[in-house]
Amino acid sequence: MDRWEDWRAQDRETIVAVATPAGRGGLGIVRLSGPRAADVARAILRLQDGAVPALAPRQVRRMFFPVAVAQPDGAGREPALGAGALDEVLVTYFPAPRSYTAEDVVEISGHGAPVLLAAMVQAAVGAGARLAAPGEFTRRAFLHGRLDLAQAEAVHDLISAETLWQARVAARQMQGSVARQLGPLREVLVEWIARLEAGIDFADDDVPVASDQWIAAGIAELDRQTARALAGFRHGRIVREGLTVAIVGRPNVGKSSLFNALLASERAIVTAAPGTTRDTIAEAMDLDGIPLRLVDTAGLRQGESEPEVLGIERSWQAAADAELVLALFDASQPLQPEDTTLLHRLAHWPHCLPALNKCDLAPRLSAAELTAAWAEAGGDGMAVEAVPLVSARTGGGIQALRSQLRRRCLPDLDGNSDFLTNARHAGCLQELQNALRRAGAALAGGLPHEAVLVDLHAGLRSLDEITGPTTTEDILGVIFARFCVGK
Ligand SMILES: Nc1nc2c(ncn2[C@@H]2O[C@H](COP(=O)(O)OP(=O)(O)OP(=O)(O)O)[C@@H](O)[C@H]2O)c(=O)[nH]1
Ligand SMILES: [Mg+2]
């Protein structure tokens, strides 16, 4: 039996799982889905008078989970309330197809004690349900056409979101933003395929065959659109995975102090002695929705001891690994030789932002002097007013620095949250682009249109893998296995 058939057979079973996270909570939800969901709920729940409850569609009903169901102490004994209720629950019944899975669904909301929830699941299994596999509820929603694949994956992203921004992007994708974004591209691709097919089928008739020049222009336009969608993925990946910012500078300029100020926590040790930080420290922070990994590093100078030299090597490694390097200088002292060395080393790095700290003290190094030194070292023309001026001690300028970091991380985002965030989707688009380029090359090489069509069809399959209709079972298996049980 192949996996599709296997899944369809499983669909006829009724599944059960705890939908709320493991652990204690005020409330906990047991979810049932499948043709027998209502029967199973009726078998394990009772009304206050001990009667078997009726389930009204889309209405919340108060019921009881009887002790006798949780601990049946004799065969054939009717689960009456007599000995009492283990829990008082609220039950909602969503008949097919207007439910999350498009099957009959019952949600039992009880108190969030793990033993109680486990007993309810156990009772449901006793009444004929089966434990759900990870992601099985969402997989059923996909197989029944309630969600496309990109939407189903967005459910996982929403649950895993660590910042509100990520949640917002995932929520839009759950509402179908990926299909909406790629829809026009797909339409044009299908049109070209149809045109070429018609040209071949009716070659002997009077259907005008598109000129190679026209087809080539069409393919090139598709390629441009694909490239645009792929470019959006760079931002999308940042939203999804975040990025790393490393603070570097000579000893004592206040890197650890700034690290603490940005994190709003005394995470790193700060002392007046240069060479305090010996090893890199990384902490996660939320930069207005972008998950950021902030790295504090050992001060850069000619190391005096082996541990210091090793620490300095790690600083450079951290800088090399970071998407943005914040190069920190001390505004209360003139530029030191170590500062100049650092400027020279960083000047040609693509993502470096020089900044001035200790601006609460009498100034001995201005933003103008720093930008002049930066330019002299070979750095790109940096505007004097673009240099962040902060005081890690008083907190002055920290908010402005945060905004500037955000702009540097995502320069042209403008509140737009419609872009690809999923690496699998980007991979499919990359495949599409490769196919389009092969098609273009086939055409330019004078190959027959049949050969061009093979590539265009391959491109369409890649595009369709994003939202699902032509996705292979293997990919589906991988996607839904990442979900937690109960989703
Ligand atoms: N006045 C003032 N002092 C600061 C400021 N930032 C840091 N300092 C002081 O500068 C000294 C060095 O601070 P650190 O944060 O340890 O400097 P660092 O760059 O991490 O130093 P290393 O770990 O040795 O490389 C400490 O005495 C801090 O209190 C600031 O904005 N203003
Ligand atoms: Mg330090």
Which residues have their alpha-adjacent CB atom under 5 A from ion ligand 2? 255-256, 276-277
Residue 39 reports pLDDT greater than 50: yes
Report CA(249)–ligand 2 centroid distance (Å): 9
Report which of 434, 405, 468 is spatially closest to residue 176, judged by C-alpha positions. 468
What is the percent of the chain where pLDDT is above 70? Answer: 90
Alpha carbon separation from 482 to 174, 241, 467 (Å, rounded): 17, 16, 17
- Please tell me the predicted confidence (pLDDT) of residue 477: 72
Report CA(262)–ligand 2 centroid distance (Å): 14
What is the percent of the chain where pLDDT is above 90? Answer: 63
- Please tell me the predicted confidence (pLDDT) of residue 3: 62
Residue 342: partners with Cβ closer than 8 Å, 6 or more residues away: 248, 249, 250, 300, 327
Answer with the residue of higher pLDDT: 51 or 471: 51
Residue to probe by mutation, ligand 1, list 257, 262, 390, most atoms within 8 Å of CB:
257
- Please tell me the predicted confidence (pLDDT) of residue 291: 85
Where does the pLDDT of residue 130 fall: very low under 50, low under 70, confident under 90, or very high at 90 and above? Answer: very high
Which protein residue's CA is at the shortest distance from atom 2 of ligand 1? 358
Ligand 1, residue 272: give the atom nearest the CA: 27
Which protein residue's CA is at the shortest distance from atom 14 of ligand 1? 254
Please write the tens of the pLDDT for every residue from 336-394: 999 999 999 999 888 899 999 999 999 999 999 999 999 999 988 888 999 999 999 99
Phi-psi region of 102 (alpha: psi -120 to 50; beta: other; left: phi over 0): left
Please write the tens of the pLDDT for every residue from 278-314: 999 999 998 877 889 999 999 999 988 999 999 999 9
- Please tell me the predicted confidence (pLDDT) of residue 208: 58
Q: What is the mean pLDDT of the chain?
A: 88
- Please tell me the predicted confidence (pLDDT) of residue 81: 58
Which ligand does the CA of 360 lie closest to? 1
Ligand 1, residue 298: give the atom nearest the CA: 25
Where does the pLDDT of residue 413 fall: very low under 50, low under 70, confident under 90, or very high at 90 and above? Answer: very low
Residue type at position 267: R
User: What is the average pLDDT across 309-322?
Assistant: 92
Ligand 1, residue 396: give the atom nearest the CA: 31
User: What is the average pLDDT across 324-332?
Assistant: 96
Report CA(168)–ligand 1 centroid distance (Å): 37
Hey, what domains does the chain have and what are their CATH numbers?
3-147 (3.30.1360.120), 159-236+420-479 (1.20.120.430), 244-409 (3.40.50.300)
